[in-house]
A and B are shown apart, each in its own frame.
Chain A
Amino acid sequence: MSMARVAAVFALAAALFARAAAAAPPPQELVVFEAASLTDAFASLAEKFRAAHAGIKVTANAAGSQELRTQIEHGAKADVFASADLKHMDKLRQAGLVLAPTVFACNQPVVVVRPGSGVKAFVDLASVDRLVIGAPGVPIGTYTDQILAAAGKQLGGDWVKRVQARIVSRELNVRQVLAKVTLGEADAGIVYRSDATAAKGKGTAITIAIPDAFNVTAEYPIAALAAAPRADLAAAWINLVMSPAGQALLAQHGFTACPKK
């Protein structure tokens, strides 16, 4: 084949490609950016969603909320964003990248311990061998710092120092904290109740509640993206999440109703 003919083939291919791109039908796909702690709950919701929307694929991108926010700020294509804290959602709202958010679930941090670690109560964190928590700036890490600060007021600054000396890693998302405990490498970690629920079935981690006096409630907001390729599907997903069926599913996965304000 001569080079001129090759060039002609290339030109034809380019023209066809341009036509196809211009006439592309709307994507048969809903892209959900979800905080890592929502992974299991949203996977169950996606099954329900597919049952109601035949032919639509639900693609989940689960990561730390701040990472998802960075991706959205840099133009990632998505329809829905569900964050593990209000801060990241508010930043996106201020930038006009998402529509008005709604709080759809709440979650409480808990301590998870490796079976046989000897930790019986929250105060025992000061004597645990290896403690793993979230990195500062990651929602679970920020909540953990708030909890330790609140606990320090009652248990003393010395207790906080002893706990901090036990920290061997600050992980970049909550599922990595959980993984270090379920693998048995860490003795204790602080994760959300929903994550602990995911691990409880496998018998690899024991949940210990954090006293209400120190604990915080994580609020999960959800919003459609302003530039959602499928705004209709985004709205349908949010409706499903807020519906009684959706809320019941979230409760099964360890999420709690939000305290009335």
Chain B
Amino acid sequence: MTAPRGRRPERAARDTVWTTALAVPAVVLVAALLLPLAGLVLTASPAELAGGLRHPLVGPALRLSLLTTVIAVAFIIVAGTPLAWFLARWRTRTGRALEVLVQIPVVVPPAVAGLALLLAFGRHGLFGPALGRIGVGLPFSTPAVVLAEIFVAAPFFLQGAVDAFRRVNEDLLVVAHSLGAGRTRVFFTIAVPLALPGLVGGAAMAWARALGEFGATLMFAGNLTGRTQTLPLAIYTALESDLSAARAIALILMAVAFALLLAIRAGSRR
């Protein structure tokens, strides 16, 4: 409040220009993010939507998507929580290198992920022949869908979980130890509850990513109704013949993803 009175109007005008210059690109971005969603929701009539939901591809794809993503996310949580705990606490070069390595699937395009999975676990892949000898054939199977989902989704959980564990106050753990609590008890009764919002948020992000997985599944698991055709693949397949079914499936996916987004918000606010 030390500025001379006479300069105020000029400054106010400058503020307006400044705000406008910032607001224009911000509004353009909001429009770019929301208009496609509006297009999806507003162009569907309820009757068309109801008809689309009865399309023969919808039921099996919804069941398969729920089944595979629940298995994938459960595995990611069970195996990812301890891994995130180690990554958060190993402050060695190896620990940091591993943290970067497990993030690679985030930046790999889905089609590349599919090809990589095929070249690793396919019939002629690196480990495929060994798996074949014990009677395991992954490509074109439901487990292949789960594997593709784990590959693309796990890094999202790990990122959230590592950050959450890093924010846990080290002193609390030391005090608990000194009061006689064992490592297991410290982990389950102090570290995990304190990190819970981050773990829940990470799990929701991972689930959303697993639900949306398309490219790697198509490449590695194929596209067969009831066995490997998840919701995103069903959208693409329905698009060949029936736009209203494709739109209905797209809306289901969006509703589920939106519910997950709300869960993330709720989880991270606690």
Contact = CB atoms under 8 A, between A and B. Distances in A.
Nearest to B24: A10
B118 interface: yes
B124 interface: yes
Q: Which of B124, B139, B228 is packed against the most chain A CB atoms within 10 Å?
A: B139
B223 A184 contact: no
Given A7-B17, A183-B118, A185-B140, A172 B237 contact: yes
Contacts of A7: 17, 20-21
A170 B17 contact: no
A93 interface: no
Given A66-B240, A137-B241, A171 B122 contact: no
Given A7-B17, A137-B241, A168 B122 contact: no
Nearest to B122: A185
Nearest to B238: A137
Q: Which of A67, A137, A176, A183 is packed against the most chain B CB atoms within 10 Å?
A: A183
B123 A185 contact: yes
Interface string A95-139: 000000000000000000000000000000000001010011110
Interface in A135-165: 135-138, 141
Interface in A8-51: 10
- Dominant SS at the B interface? loop
Given A4-B17, A168-B140, A185-B122, A132 B240 contact: no
Contact of B224 (A6, A67, A138, A167): A167
Band of interface residues on B: 20 to 34
Given A3-B21, A7-B17, A169 B241 contact: no
A170 B218 contact: no
A3 B237 contact: no
B123 A184 contact: yes
Interface in A180-196: 180, 183-186
A130 B141 CA distance: 11
B188 interface: no
A184 B124 contact: yes
Given A4-B17, A132-B222, A171-B222, A67 B123 contact: no
B237 A185 contact: no
A239 interface: no
Contacts of B224: 167-170
Contact of B122 (A2, A10, A66, A183): A183
Given A4-B17, A137-B241, A169 B140 contact: yes
A70 interface: yes
A135 B18 contact: no
A64 interface: yes
B14 interface: yes
Nearest to A169: B222
Given A136-B240, A136-B241, A137-B237, A185 B139 contact: yes
Band of interface residues on A: 20 to 34
B236 interface: yes
B239 A170 contact: no
Contacts of A136: 237, 240-241
A169 B124 contact: no
Given A169-B140, A180-B222, A185-B139, A6 B240 contact: no
A134 B176 CA distance: 61
Contacts of A132: 222
Contact of A184 (B18, B122, B140, B236): B122
A69 to B, nearest CB: 10
A3 B18 contact: yes
Given A3-B18, A169-B224, A171-B223, 17 more contacts: A6-B21, A7-B17, A7-B20, A66-B239, A135-B223, A138-B240, A169-B140, A169-B221, A170-B224, A171-B222, A172-B236, A180-B222, A183-B124, A184-B122, A184-B124, A185-B139, A185-B140
Interface of A: 2-4, 6-7, 10, 64, 66-67, 70, 130, 132, 135-138, 141, 167-172, 176, 180, 183-186
Interface of B: 14, 17-18, 20-21, 118, 122-124, 139-140, 218, 221-225, 227-228, 236-237, 239-241, 243
Closest 4 CB pairs of A and B: A169-B222, A137-B240, A137-B241, A168-B140
14 contacts: A4-B17, A7-B20, A66-B241, A67-B239, A130-B140, A136-B237, A138-B240, A171-B222, A171-B223, A172-B218, A176-B218, A183-B124, A184-B124, A185-B140
